[in-house]
């Protein structure tokens, strides 16, 4: 059971980024982050609570976003996931649209509570499977949520990492800059440079992102797959391999 898919690699990477967390919340329409949180819970030994918004079985919130925001304000959520139509080199995200606001050429669903959670949750993981100059830009057209704040602004939360379909980046809050941590198997540095619209730091030799081991694959294709199916049945049926296959 050594071979793994790209999706399984991303899920295992998410689980690794959640090590040390006790309470992880995952927004709606986020099957890969959700699977990663469930995998982290399945392989953990201590207290680990997962709230998948949109799930009845894996969501302890009784009032949806209201309770999510309350928990974040009280410091009771360790990690959350955010994405964006655009993400720039200072970890600013754009969920509003393309072009000059308010006359944007293309509109997206909107910022909702992204800025609020970005300020309060200590480990925000940016996730965008598409890795291109269209999505990873030098400067976002609209700042839905800023990646950094002035020193005099109280901000216990912020970006910790950016995970894409090609690579994993860590975010340096002091320098307001990403650092390339690893490149996924089958891809190379030149491809990352060609498809990233912002400058970033990197080591002299960039390691390869480690994939899931046999134990993780067994959990992912068994217990995690069964748990995730309640919220994302189509994703599980079409993307995730079963241990019975």
SS (H, E, C) the chain: CCCCCHHHHHHHHHHHHCCCCCEEEECCCCHHHHHHHHHHHHHCCCCCEEEECCCCCCCCCCCCHHHHHHHHHCCCCCEEEECCCEEECCCCEECCEECCCCCCCEECCCCCCHHHHHHHCCEEEEEECCCCCCCEECCCCCCCECCCCCCCCCCCCCEEEEEECCEEEEEECCCCEEEEEEECCCCCHHHHHHHCCCCCECCCCCCECCCCCHHHHHHHHHHHHHHHHCCCHHHHHHCCCCCCC
Cα 169 from Cα 86, distance rounded (Å) = 16
How confident is the model at residue 1, as a pLDDT?
43
Cα 49 from Cα 29, distance rounded (Å) = 19
The whole-model pTM stands at 0.95
The predicted-structure confidence for 142-168, as pLDDT tens digits, reads as follows 999 999 999 999 999 999 999 999 999
| Closest C-alpha to 113, from 70, 62, 174 | 70
Residue extents of the structural domains in the chain: 6-82+111-133+144-185+208-238
Cα 99 from Cα 148, distance rounded (Å) = 22
What percent of the chain is modeled with pLDDT above 90? 89
Radius of gyration for the chain, computed over Cα atoms and rounded to the nearest angstrom:
18
The predicted-structure confidence for 55-93, as pLDDT tens digits, reads as follows 989 998 887 788 999 999 999 999 999 999 999 999 999
User: CATH class for domain 6-82+111-133+144-185+208-238?
Assistant: alpha beta
Q: Looking up tokens 């912020």, which residue turns up?
A: 158
How confident is the model at residue 2, as a pLDDT?
57
Is the model more confident about 70 or about 242? 70
């Amino acid at each position: 059971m050594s071979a793994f898919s790209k999706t399984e690699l991303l899920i295992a990477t998410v689980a690794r980024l959640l090590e040390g967390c006790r309470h992880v919340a995952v927004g709606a329409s986020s099957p890969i982050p959700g699977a990663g949180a469930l995998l982290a819970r399945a392989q953990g030994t201590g207290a680990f609570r997962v709230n998948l918004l949109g799930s009845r079985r894996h969501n302890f919130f009784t009032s949806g976003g209201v309770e999510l925001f309350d928990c974040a304000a009280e410091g009771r959520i360790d990690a959350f996931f955010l994405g964006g139509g655009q993400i720039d080199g200072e970890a600013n995200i754009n969920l509003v649209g393309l072009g000059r606001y308010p006359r944007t050429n293309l509109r997206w669903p909107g910022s909702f509570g992204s800025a609020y959670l970005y300020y309060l949750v200590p480990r925000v993981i940016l996730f965008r499977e598409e890795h291109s100059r269209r999505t990873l830009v030098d400067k976002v057209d609209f700042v839905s949520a800023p990646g950094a704040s002035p020193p005099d602004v109280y901000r216990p939360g912020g970006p910790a990492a950016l995970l894409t379909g090609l690579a994993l980046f860590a975010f340096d809050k002091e320098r307001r800059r990403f650092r390339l941590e690893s490149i996924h198997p089958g891809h190379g540095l030149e491809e990352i440079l060609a498809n990233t619209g912002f400058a970033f730091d990197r080591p002299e030799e960039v390691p390869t992102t480690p994939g899931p081991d046999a134990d993780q694959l067994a959990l992912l294709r068994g217990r995690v797959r069964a748990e995730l199916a309640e919220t994302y049945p189509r994703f599980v049926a079409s993307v995730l391999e079963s241990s019975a296959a």
